[in-house]
Chain A
Amino acid sequence: MGIIETRGLTKTYVRDFIDVEHGRLRFHLWKRKVSALRNLNLSVEPGEIFGLLGPNGAGKTTTLKILMGIHFPTSGEATIMGRPLGDREVKSRIGFLPENPYFYDYLTGAEFLNFYGQLYGMPRGERNRKIPELLELVGLSQAGKLPLRGYSKGMNQRIGLAQALLNDPEIVFLDEPQSGLDPLGRKDIRDIILRLREQKKTVFFSSHILSDAEMICDRVAILVKGELRNIGALGQLLSAGIKDYEIVVQGVSGEVFSALRPKMKSYLESSDGIMLMAPDEELAREAVRITLDNHGRLVSFNPRRETLEEYFISQVRSGDNIPQQAVQGAGK
Chain B
Amino acid sequence: MSVAADSQNMHDSGYQMSQRRRAPVFSVIPSISLNTFREAVRNRILYIILIFALLLMASSGIVRDLTIAAHDRVVRDLGLAAINFFGLAVAILVGINLVYNELDKKSIYTIVSKPVSRWQFLLGKYFGLLLTIYVNILIMGVFFLGVINYQDRVNEDKLAEVLWHQNASGQYEQVQHPTLTYTKYVATSIVASAGQGIANLFGAMTTPRTQYINGVIFATMLELAIITAFAILYSSFSTPILSAIFTIMTFIAGRLNQDIWAYAMELEKKGLRGTMAGNIKYYLSLGASHVVPNLGQYRESANQLNQAGYHGVQWVEMISRPGGISLPAGILPYTIFYTAAILGLSVLIFRSRNFK
- Co-assembled chains A and B: yes
Interfacial residues, chain A to chain B (CB-CB below 8 A): 1-3, 13, 17-22, 25, 46, 65, 68-72, 79, 81-83, 88-89, 91-98, 100-104, 106-107, 115-116, 118-122, 160, 163, 167, 170, 173
CA distance A83 to B112 in the complex (A): 17
- Chain A proximity mask over B20-31: 1 for CB below 8 Å, otherwise 0: 111110011001
Interfacial residues, chain B to chain A (CB-CB below 8 A): 6-7, 9-10, 12-15, 17, 20-24, 27-28, 31-32, 35, 38-39, 42-43, 105-117, 237-238, 349, 351-355
Q: Which residues in B have their C-beta under 8 angstroms from that of A120?
A: 21, 24, 114-115
Task: Given the known inter-chain contacts A116-B110, A118-B27, A119-B31, please indicate yes or no for A83 contacting B6, CB distance below 8 A.
Answer: yes
CA distance A3 to B10 in the complex (A): 9
Q: Which residues in A have their C-beta under 8 angstroms from that of B237?
A: 18
Q: Which residues in B have their C-beta under 8 angstroms from that of A100?
A: 106
Task: Given the known inter-chain contacts A3-B13, A20-B352, A71-B355, please indicate yes or no for A98 contacting B115, CB distance below 8 A.
Answer: no
Task: Given the known inter-chain contacts A69-B112, A88-B115, please indicate yes or no for A20 contacting B353, CB distance below 8 A.
Answer: yes
Complex contact B109–A101 (CB within 8 A)? yes
CA distance A103 to B110 in the complex (A): 9
CA distance A118 to B27 in the complex (A): 8
CA distance A37 to B225 in the complex (A): 42
Supply 6 A–B pairs (Cβ within 8 Å), ascending by A: A18-B237, A46-B15, A72-B352, A82-B13, A92-B115, A97-B110
Task: Given the known inter-chain contacts A104-B35, A121-B22, please indicate yes or no for A88 contacting B9, CB distance below 8 A.
Answer: no
CA distance A255 to B178 in the complex (A): 110
Complex contact A82–B9 (CB within 8 A)? yes
Q: Which residues in B have their C-beta under 8 angstroms from that of A95?
A: 113
Complex contact B109–A96 (CB within 8 A)? yes
CA distance A17 to B7 in the complex (A): 40
Beyond the given pairs A46-B14, A72-B352, 10 more chain A to chain B contacts, judged by CB atoms under 8 angstroms and listed by A's residue number, are A25-B352, A82-B6, A94-B113, A96-B110, A100-B106, A119-B116, A120-B115, A121-B21, A170-B15, A173-B113
Q: Which of A22, A70, A81, A89 contacts B109 (CB 8 A)?
A: A70
CA distance A114 to B355 in the complex (A): 25
Task: Given the known inter-chain contacts A70-B355, A106-B42, A119-B31, please indicate yes or no for A81 contacting B112, CB distance below 8 A.
Answer: no
Q: Which of A3, A65, A94, A119 contacts B28 (CB 8 A)?
A: A119
Q: Which residues in A have their C-beta under 8 angstroms from that of B12?
A: 1
Complex contact A98–B109 (CB within 8 A)? yes
Complex contact B109–A72 (CB within 8 A)? no
CA distance A170 to B16 in the complex (A): 12
Q: Which of B13, B28, B113, B349 contacts A96 (CB 8 A)?
A: B113
The 7 closest A-B pairs by CB, nearest first: A22-B352, A121-B24, A82-B10, A96-B113, A118-B31, A92-B115, A106-B42
Q: Which residues in B have their C-beta under 8 angstroms from that of A71?
A: 354-355
CA distance A107 to B41 in the complex (A): 11
Q: Which residues in B have their C-beta under 8 angstroms from that of A22?
A: 351-352
Complex contact B107–A91 (CB within 8 A)? no
Chain A nearest Cβ from B120, distance in angstroms:
9
Q: Which residues in B have their C-beta under 8 angstroms from that of A121?
A: 21-24, 27-28, 115
Chain A nearest Cβ from B94, distance in angstroms:
13
Complex contact A91–B9 (CB within 8 A)? no
Q: Which residues in B have their C-beta under 8 angstroms from that of A21?
A: 352, 354
Q: Which residues in A have their C-beta under 8 angstroms from that of B32?
A: 119
Q: Which residue of B lies closest to A68 (CB)?
A: B113
Chain A nearest Cβ from B227, distance in angstroms:
22
